[in-house]
Amino acid sequence: MRISTQSIYNNATSQLNTLQSALARTQNQLSTNRRILTPADDPVASARALEVSQSKEMNSQFATNRASARSSLAMVEGALQNAGDLLQDMQRLTVNAGNGAMQLQDREALATELEGRLEDLLGVANSTDGAGGFLFSGYMATTQPFTRTPGGAAYQGDQGQRQLQVGASRKIPLSASGAAVFENNPTGNGVFQTQADKANKGAAIISSGAVVDRPLANQGRSYELTFSVTGSPAVTTYTVVDSATGTAVPGHDNQAYEPGKTISFGGLSFDIKGEPADADVFTVEPSKKQSVFNTVTDLIAALRAPSDGSTGKAALTNQLNTALDNLKSAHDNLLTVQASVGAHMKELDYLDSAGDDLDVQYAATLGDLQDLDMVKAISDFSMQQTTLQAAQMSFKTMSGLSLFNYL
């Protein structure tokens, strides 16, 4: 068989190129510490590595989102803390206003101070996040949530809560609705509210009351208690009428009045102290939602109203008791929202810990799929280098052979 010189050179060149390519590939693997340089090296592992890399990037983005969510929630929590301090101060001022030694000018000073607290509370309710968005306006982040009105404040936002994805299957609220924080405050004791009619002429004071039978009290019925003072000496009686039916509550029709004695019906109880006048009326109604701004505005008006004589003092005391109950309810509601914000921030800590663990798992999986076995790669590199050098020497020797050397 005759072999041409061209064939010898072609075969040798092809073999040397193959060995050179293998050596260069191993060099690239060693320099990048990657076993897979192109998807063709291991299609299955490459596809799996792409999926894991995408999951790892998403996990990193979730970590960034959690940092942003924590910052937003910290601002909400700070605003709620300020609002809570203001409500506590308002309750203190309301208690002080009940001091019987106070004169009209003293109550005027308290009313002025409460006006300042009201403006401060309105400012907290209109807090921003530092980027032009309002914390308590729901989805309407660019709309100022509360505007001052003669009766208190009007809410301009909506009921939504802005949320951010902080995990593969978890979204965290970044804000709280201003309506939920400052307006949805149950009046009275949370189930019912007792009030004295503004036209009362006597000096009777009604308590906030308590629930003795919750299922019965939760039926949402309204009642009206009317006093009657007749005879000489005067005999005081009262009648409790169901406002829905207009009929007297059994056992409470023309009952003798005893100051401070508990009055119970419909699953609720309360007491009345002092001396009522003839035709004085007290109402018992289901609790309803009331804005804290309306509560404080009504309180300020009550402090500035004349309160001369026993009738005026009793009216003021009843109004102060109502305001104190409503402020306490508003503070309790705010604490509930604040606890929810705190729970979300605590959850972010747990999600951070879980995210860190996932990051380690993803890195380990990518290492198994992509990382190079350095010992094997160095051994292969040395072998390929030796093989290439031997092939080069062999080709050089063979290409130098000639019959003319033997002639």
Instruction: Choose one of 259, 286, 313: the last residue of a domain.
Output: 286
pLDDT, tens digit, 9 for 90 and up, residues 27-49: 776 667 666 666 656 677 777 77
Average of per-residue pLDDT across 233-250: 93
Mean pLDDT over 247-270 rounds to 93
Please give the average per-residue pLDDT across 242-256, as a whole number. 92
The model's pTM is 0.79
Q: Is residue 199 part of a domain?
A: yes
- In this structure, the answer to whether residues 79 and 173 fall within a common structural domain is yes
Whether residue 326 sits in one domain with residue 275: no
Q: pLDDT tens across 114-126, in order? A: 999 999 999 999 9
Residues 84 and 182 in one domain: yes
Residue with tokens 């308290």: 110
SS3 per residue for the chain:
CCCCHHHHHHHHHHHHHHHHHHHHHHHHHHHHCECCCCHHHCHHHHHHHHHHHHHHHHHHHHHHHHHHHHHHHHHHHHHHHHHHHHHHHHHHHHHHHCCCCCCHHHHHHHHHHHHHHHHHHHHHHCCECCCCCECCCCCCCCCCCEEEECCEEEECCCCCCCEEEEECCEEEECCCCHHHHHHCEECCCCCEEEEECCCCCCCCEECCCEECCHHHHCCCCCEEEEEEEECCCCEEEEEEEECCCCCECCCCCCEECCCCCEEEECCEEEEEECCCCCCCEEEEEECCEECHHHHHHHHHHHHHCCCCHHHHHHHHHHHHHHHHHHHHHHHHHHHHHHHHHHHHHHHHHHHHHHHHHHHHHHHHHHHHHHECCHHHHHHHHHHHHHHHHHHHHHHHHHHCCCHHHHC
Most distant CA atoms of the chain, gap in Å: 162
With a pLDDT cut of 90, the percent of the chain lying above it is: 57
pLDDT for 20 equals: 72
Indicate whether 182 and 206 sit together in one domain.
no
The domain total for the chain is 2
Model pLDDT, residue 104? 87
Residue-level pLDDT at 208: 93
Token pair of 215, please? 């299922």
Structural domain includes residue 106: yes
**pLDDT tens across 76-95, in order?**
999 999 999 999 999 999 99
Residue 14 has pLDDT above 80, yes or no: no
The pLDDT mean for the chain works out to 86
Please check whether residues 292 and 216 belong to one and the same domain. Answer: no
Residue 397, domain member (yes or no): no
- CATH number, domain with residue 107: 1.20.1330.10
Residue 93 shares a structural domain with residue 139: yes
Phi, psi of 238 (to 5 degrees): -140, 155
329-361 confidence digits (pLDDT tens)? 999 999 999 999 999 999 999 999 988 888 888
Pair 195, 338 in one domain: no
Q: How confident is the model at residue 4 (pLDDT cuts 50, 70, 90)?
A: low
Same domain membership, residue 111 and residue 78: yes
- How confident is residue 315, by pLDDT bands cut at 50, 70 and 90? very high
More confident residue, 269 or 175: 269
Domain assignment present for residue 383? The answer is: no
Residues 101 and 183 in one domain: yes
Residue 320 lies in a domain: yes
Q: Measured in Å, how far apart are the chain's first and last C-alpha atoms?
A: 23
Q: What is the pLDDT of residue 29?
A: 66
Last residue of a domain, one of 286, 320, 342: 286
Q: Let me know whether 194 and 91 are in one domain.
A: no
Q: Which range of residues forms the domain containing residue 96?
A: 34-187+288-371
377 occurs within a structural domain: no
pLDDT of residue 339: 93
Residue 406 lies in a domain: no
233 upstream amide cis, omega within 30 of 0: yes
Domain boundary (234, 258, 286) is at: 286
307 vs 70: which has the higher pLDDT: 70
Residue 4 lies in a domain: no
Let me know whether 260 and 174 are in one domain.
no
Q: At residue 11, does pLDDT exceed 90?
A: no
CB 121 within 8 A of CB 83: yes
Centroid of chain to Cα 293: 22
* Statement to judge: residues 132 and 58 lie in one domain: yes
